[in-house]
Every structure is written in C-alpha cells, then in structure tokens.
C-alpha cells in the first residue's frame, strides 16, 4: 500500500510538473533581448518593403515587449500595423501577422512577405534557461516531482512513531529539494557589499562587526583559509540551511506525523530562493537552526530536567551570538517558562537559569540596539511593511493562506501547551520587534521576520494535517461506520495531494547577480590605469577590493575599509536618475550599474548610450540582468 500511494503521488507530481513545464515553454523561454540597433531596423524595414513590392515607407514606429514586437509602418499608400511573436525556442522563426491596415491594402503584405519579415527581423533574441534545454523549467519540474514523491511516501507512514525507511526517504527527498533550490544561488557573483564584508570579517576579525554577532563568522572562517570563491563561502550557510530544514521537519513530525514533516519540508524548500541568508552569507539560517532546536527542546515539557535546561541555556546563547534578533526569541522563551512556573507546571529552577542567561544576553543586545540608533535609515516605513509581507509564504503562493490560517488556528487552540505558546508568541514578537527597532534603532529591511519562517511553516504543516485528520474522523463518524484503512488512506492521499498541487509549484529565480561577474575584470584593469569610475552603487569600492583579494591582487582586509586608496579619488556616485556623467566629462571612463531595482531604467540607459559604451567583456544578453559593467568613450 505504501509504495502504491508513493507511485500515485509521483504520477500526480509528474502531471503537475508537466503543466508547469508546458507553461514555461509557451511564454518564458525565448525573449527579445536588449541592444536594439534602431538604424539597422529601419534599413531592414525599407529593404523588406522594397523587396516585397510594397509602397514606399515614410515613417515607422512600434514597441518591443518580452515576446511580442509591434511594428507601425506609415507608407505613401497608408498605414500598416504588424505583430511579430516569438516561438518557445529561439531556433524556430518568429510568426508575423497583420493586425490592421488603413486603407485596406490588397496584395501587401502577403503571407510570404510576413514570413520573410519575421525570419529576418534584426532585434536580437535570447533563449532563457540555457537555450532549448529549458534548464530553468527542468529544475522547477524536478522540484515538483521530488516534492510530490516525498509527500506520497509520508502519507501511509503518517502515524509511524519510530524511525523507518519511509522517514529516511522523506528527509533525503527534501534535502534534494534544498539542493535544487540552492544550486544556482551557490555560484551567483556578489553585487552588494553585504556578503563581501561578511567574508572579510570571517577571514580577518570575527569580532570586528558591531552590527552582527561573531558566531556565523567563526563558523565560516575555515572556509576562507581555503577559498574566497562565492560558492565556497556559501557552503557553511548551506549546511545550516539544510540542518534547519531537517530540524523543522522533525518538530513537525512530533506534533503532526510524517505528512506534516513532508509538507513543512517541501514548503520551506520552496522559500529558499526568496530568503536572505544563502545569497548574501546572512546569519538567518544559522540563527534559525538554533531557533528550531529551542522548539524541539520545549516540545516535551515534562522532560525539562537539568540537562535539558542546560541545553536550553546553551542554545539561547548560541542563537543570540548568531543573530541579535534571537534575543527576542530568547525573551519569549523565558516568558513562556515563567508562565509555566507560575502555574505550577514547572519547577522555578527550570525558569531561573534561562532567566539569568537571558539577562546577560540582553545587555549585549541592548548595546547593539543603542549603537544602531545613530545609523542612517535604510528603508521607509511603507517599504518595511511591504518587505515583511514579501517574506510571508503567501507572497510566493496566495493559496498558502489556507495552511497558514489552519496553523494559526491550531496554535490558538493549543495555546496552553508550552511549545505552541512559544511559537505563537514568537510569530507576534519578532515582527513587532523589527518595527520597534526600525523606529528606535536600525534595521536594513523587513526581511528580518524571515527568522521565524520555519516556525510559521511548522505550525502551518501541523495545523493542516490536524485539520485534514479531523475532517476525515468527522466523515467516518457521520457515516456511522468504522474506519476502513484503505478508504481513509485514499481520502487522505487525495486531500493532501490536492493541497500540494495548490501550494507547490512556484520556485522563484532568486537573486543571481547577473552581470556582476565582470567586476573581476574591472578590479584587475583598475590596477593599471587611473580612469574615473561612475556608478549608482556606493558598494562598488568594497566589491572591487574583494575581487582583488579573490584574485590574489589585494588583501581581504582592505574590503572592510570604505575604499582602497587607489580607488577613493576615482570613484564618483551618480545622481539617482542619471544615466552617465554630464557632457563636460573628458576622456574615457568606466560606468557601473549594480543591483538596481530600476532594471528597466538602467537597460534604457544602456540603449541610449549606444556605441559610446560597451560591456567590459563579452556577455550573453539576458532580460533578467541587473548589473552592467561598461567601458565608455568620452562624449
């Protein structure tokens, strides 16, 4: 029965993945790329009309979308509007069709004329997902198939309290999902100074960063002895991300069975590309690992003896030394233990030691909170709330509203239990503390609440499974019959797979740093010339210092300084809306756009600059590019 259900789930997963794959092929692979040569297009149109026996062209215009081009032709005989649409593969010729003409022309353009227009239209095309292999879609499809397989294996083993082959298969399957989600991020170049500063502190001074605790730097220090490559620096964060995922699954398994473990693991894996941590070497998954360990430690209140209390104290300290925001979690834990002690459910000694540890940790955290009050504001209040919402699973898939809602209901219903009260208060306290820190101290963004995402998905998975089991029990009792294992398992399988189909499938691209790989060449070139550097990013000097250290042409410690001495006088920050320095600039210069949220504006800037500026190195044209490193001539 177990493997029959697993095979059925695998079959459903293949079907869902095929629908996702087909959707990707229909509109996401081949796109019109940047770099349109307007003069070349006009010459082509004039030659095409002349060769097709059409009326003389007087003027033309149009617009370029991601997959459609609309061309408006004004001729001596009237007006023609033509649409050119790309096929899924760039190797196939586009399709052109006449949308309208005034007056209605007879004989032009013919179908053969339109095929000629589409086949030779000179705007460059770009195949996303590594060409016709559809690699991006393939990863999403494989992710869905493996996720459904994990859930299928979990359904028959739901109430098995002991470790089994099924448990191992589910955990291994989810770890494969973690790898699929994380793989492209591992090799992405850095395009902000956040990860390079963290690499520098890890390599030179683990206690040197006032704004972040030392433990993540200490964990990553051995890696810096071996390599400064981005993939190497992300190995330790990936290890903690994997551990956090498995531990969250174990917590869900304790309260909701194997289905809850599988659902929680699949959902959390779906969030990886949206989370801060892996891309920027953040401390969220390190702190999150200790957060879930605290949850595991309090799930069985009756087992809080001296050894477990000592472990609680150690985990609190390790958590706060991984992320300052963990002081909020520690405070919630101490408060929950205090409630248990007041109600006589726990000995006062269980509360005392964690309380003393929390007080000591709070002193360190308060010092950082006070220092942050003098830092410049990074985001507006509106942006803070928008970023908080972006961290929620609902933003990835609105259908996650159902399991998240069921999880909240389950937490409220079981609020008298220590673990559920701890989770519920953390889900309230961490966003609240983030806003208080924004008002009174310093935060970089609303993504801070991502610390408790594993807690939210733990509750969502357990609450969902409890709701499904409750409905099935009610149906059995309402029918007046006894439980039939086959019927119950079939119904459970159907409901869980239906829920999975609604909540699993979207796997975002994540931050890829596309274009920032050219910073390596820029860092090397600037050692042998004194050309000025214009950029929209204040992070650029540190990024260049890191690239020099990575290539053995500088010291990693220089990254901590605002700018290497030879770059300080050459570095010029552009006004927010400026494409390039004013026309009074003399001589050649470098122009760098980095990590901009105004991707379309910067792409238009590159098009306006035209032949004046070119990529410092040959690059593949990509519509998802967010970084440009250009070498420019004087105006």
pLDDT of 443: 75
On the question of pLDDT at 3 being above 70, the answer is: no
* Structure confidence at residue 324 (pLDDT): 92
Distance CA 107, CA 275 (A): 57
Instruction: Name the more confident of 464 and 35.
Output: 464
What's the DSSP call for residue 157? Answer: T
- Cβ neighbours for 285, distance < 8 A, ≥ 6 positions apart: 237, 240, 241, 244, 275, 277, 278
CA 213/CA 323 separation, integer angstroms: 6
Q: What are residue 23's phi and psi, to 5 degrees? A: -65, -40
Q: What is the mean pLDDT of residues 171-179?
A: 95
The string of pLDDT tens digits covering residues 405-414 is: 999 999 999 9
pLDDT range class, residue 128, cuts 50, 70, 90: low
pLDDT grade, residue 260 (50/70/90)? very high
Largest CA distance in the chain: 95
Specify which residues 184 forms β-bridges with.
none
* CA 350 from centroid of its chain's CA atoms: 39
Average pLDDT over residues 92-101: 83
pLDDT at 21: 57
pLDDT tens, residue by residue, 579-597: 888 765 567 889 898 876 6
Angstrom distance (rounded) from CA 53 to CA 414: 79
Tokens 């901590």 belong to 560
State how far the Cα of 253 lies from the Cα of 263, in Å rounded to an integer: 10
- Mean pLDDT on 539-556: 91
Mean pLDDT over the full length of the chain: 84
Average pLDDT over residues 358-377: 84
> In terms of Cα–Cα distance, which of 256, 4, 26, 19 is closest to 145?
19
pLDDT at 243: 97
The pLDDT score that the predictor gives to residue 606 is: 80
Q: What is the pLDDT of residue 583?
A: 61
Structure-token pair, residue 28: 């996401």
Q: pLDDT value at position 134?
A: 41
Q: Is pLDDT above 60 for 130?
A: no
Rounded Cα distance, 57 and 267, in Å: 56
Per-residue pLDDT at 596: 63
**Interval 25-61: pLDDT, tens:** 433 457 777 656 777 888 888 888 888 888 888 888 8
* Mean pLDDT score, 519-526: 88
The phi, psi pair for 151, rounded to 5°, reads: -65, -40
Share of the chain above pLDDT 70, in %: 87
pLDDT in tens, 267-290: 999 999 888 888 889 889 999 999
| pLDDT of res. 277 | 86
Q: What are phi and psi of 138, to 5 degrees?
A: -65, -40
Cα 168–Cα 171–Cα 176 angle in degrees, nearest 5: 125
* Residues 174 and 249: beta-carbon distance below 8 Å: yes
More confident residue, 333 or 618: 333
Higher local confidence (pLDDT), 169 or 14:
169
* pLDDT tens-place string over residues 293-342: 999 999 987 677 888 889 999 999 999 999 999 999 999 999 999 998 88
Q: How confident is the model at residue 424 (pLDDT cuts 50, 70, 90)?
A: very high
**Closest residue by Cα to residue 431 from 554, 568, 332, 313:** 332
Q: Which two tokens stand for residue 345?
A: 């459910």
The set of residues, in sequence order, having a beta carbon less than 8 Å from that of 180 and lying 6+ positions away, is 139, 142, 143, 146, 269
For residue 482, is pLDDT > 70? no
Long-range contacts of residues 393-396, Cβ cutoff 8 Å, at least 24 apart: 393/267, 393/270, 393/271, 393/453, 393/456, 393/457, 393/460, 395/274, 396/270, 396/271, 396/274, 396/506, 396/508
φ, ψ for residue 501 (rounded to 5)?
-60, -30
CA distance 595 to 515: 10
Q: What is the pLDDT of residue 24?
A: 40
What would the mean pLDDT of 6-17 be, rounded to a whole number? Answer: 73
- Residue 199's pLDDT band, with cuts at 50, 70 and 90, is very high
Q: Is 197 in contact with 632 (CB distance < 8 Å)? A: no
Instruction: Evaluate if residue 104 carries a pLDDT over 80.
Output: no
Q: Which two tokens stand for residue 180?
A: 């699929």
If you average pLDDT over residues 469-479, what whole number do you get?
Answer: 81
3-state secondary structure string, 40-94? HHHHHHHHHHHHCCCCCEEEEEEEECCCEEEEEEEECCEEEEEEEECCCCCCCCC
> Which of the pair, 107 or 361, is modelled with greater confidence?
361
Report the pLDDT value the prediction gives residue 106, as an integer from 0 to 100.
Answer: 62
Q: What is the DSSP string of 188-219?
A: PPP-SHHHHHHHHHHHH-TT--TTS-SHHHHH
Instruction: State the pTM of this model.
Output: 0.79
306: phi then psi, degrees, rounded to nearest 5 = -55, -40
* Amino acid 623: pLDDT: 56
pLDDT above 80 for 378:
no
């Amino acid at each position: 029965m177990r493997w029959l259900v697993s095979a059925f789930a695998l079959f459903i997963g293949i079907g869902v993945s095929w629908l996702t794959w087909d959707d990707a092929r229909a509109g996401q692979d081949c796109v019109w790329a940047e770099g349109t040569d307007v003069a070349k297009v006009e010459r082509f149109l004039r030659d095409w009309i002349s060769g097709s026996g059409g009326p003389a062209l007087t003027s033309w215009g149009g617009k370029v979308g991601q997959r459609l081009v609309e061309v408006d032709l004004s001729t001596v005989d009237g007006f023609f509007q033509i649409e050119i649409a790309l096929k899924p593969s760039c190797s196939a010729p586009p399709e052109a069709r006449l949308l309208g003409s005034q007056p209605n022309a007879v004989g032009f353009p013919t179908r053969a004329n339109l095929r000629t227009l589409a086949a030779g239209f000179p705007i460059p095309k770009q195949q996303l997902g590594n060409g016709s292999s559809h690699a991006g879609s393939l990863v999403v499809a494989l992710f869905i198939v493996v996720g459904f397989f994990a859930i299928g294996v979990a359904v028959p083993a739901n109430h098995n309290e002991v470790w089994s082959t099924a448990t191992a298969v589910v955990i291994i399957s989810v770890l494969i999902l973690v790898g699929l989600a994380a793989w492209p991020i591992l090799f992405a170049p850095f395009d902000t100074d956040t990860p390079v500063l963290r690499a520098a502190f890890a390599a030179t001074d683990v206690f040197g960063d006032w704004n972040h605790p030392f433990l993540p730097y200490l964990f990553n220090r051995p890696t810096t002895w071996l390599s400064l490559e981005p993939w190497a620096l992300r190995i330790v964060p990936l290890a903690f991300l994997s551990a956090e995922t498995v531990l969250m699954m174990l917590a869900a398994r304790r309260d909701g069975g194997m289905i809850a473990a599988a659902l929680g693991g699949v959902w959390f894996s779906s969030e990886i590309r949206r989370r801060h941590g892996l891309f920027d070497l953040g401390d969220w998954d390190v702190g999150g690992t200790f957060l879930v360990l605290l949850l595991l430690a309090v799930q069985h209140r009756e087992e809080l003896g001296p050894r477990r209390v000592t472990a609680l104290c150690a985990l609190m300290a390790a958590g706060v030394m991984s992320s300052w925001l963990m002081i909020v979690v520690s405070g919630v834990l101490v408060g929950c233990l205090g409630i248990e002690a007041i109600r006589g459910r726990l000995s006062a000694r269980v509360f005392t030691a964690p309380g003393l540890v929390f007080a000591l940790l709070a002193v360190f955290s308060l010092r950082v909170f006070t220092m942050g009050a003098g830092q410049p504001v990074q985001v507006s209040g509106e942006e803070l709330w928008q970023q908080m919402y972006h961290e929620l699973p609902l933003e990835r898939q609105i259908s996650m509203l159902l399991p998240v809602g069921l999880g909240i209901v389950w937490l409220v219903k079981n609020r008298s239990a220590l673990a559920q009260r701890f989770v519920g208060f953390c889900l309230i306290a961490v966003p609240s503390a983030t806003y208080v820190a924004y008002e009174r101290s310093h935060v970089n963004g609303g993504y801070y609440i991502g610390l408790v995402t594993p807690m939210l998905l733990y509750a969502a998975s357990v609450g969902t499974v409890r709701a499904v089991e409750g409905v099935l029990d009610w149906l059995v009792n309402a029918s007046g019959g006894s439980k039939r294992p086959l019927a119950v398992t079939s119904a459970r399988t159907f409901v869980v797979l239906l829920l999975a189909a609604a909540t699993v499938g979207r796997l975002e691209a994540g931050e890829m740093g596309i274009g920032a790989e050219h910073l390596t060449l820029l860092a090397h070139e600037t050692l042998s010339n004194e050309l000025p550097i214009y950029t929209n990013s204040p992070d650029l000097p540190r990024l260049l210092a890191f690239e020099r250290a990575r290539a053995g042409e500088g010291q990693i410690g220089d990254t901590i300084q605002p700018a290497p001495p030879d770059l300080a006088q050459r570095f010029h920050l552009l006004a927010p809306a400026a494409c390039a320095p004013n026309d009074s600039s003399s001589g050649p210069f470098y122009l760098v756009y980095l990590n901009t949220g105004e991707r379309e504006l910067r792409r238009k800037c590159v098009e306006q600059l035209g032949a004046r500026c070119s990529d410092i190195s040959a690059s593949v044209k990509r519509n998802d590019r967010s970084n440009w490193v250009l070498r420019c001539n004087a105006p």
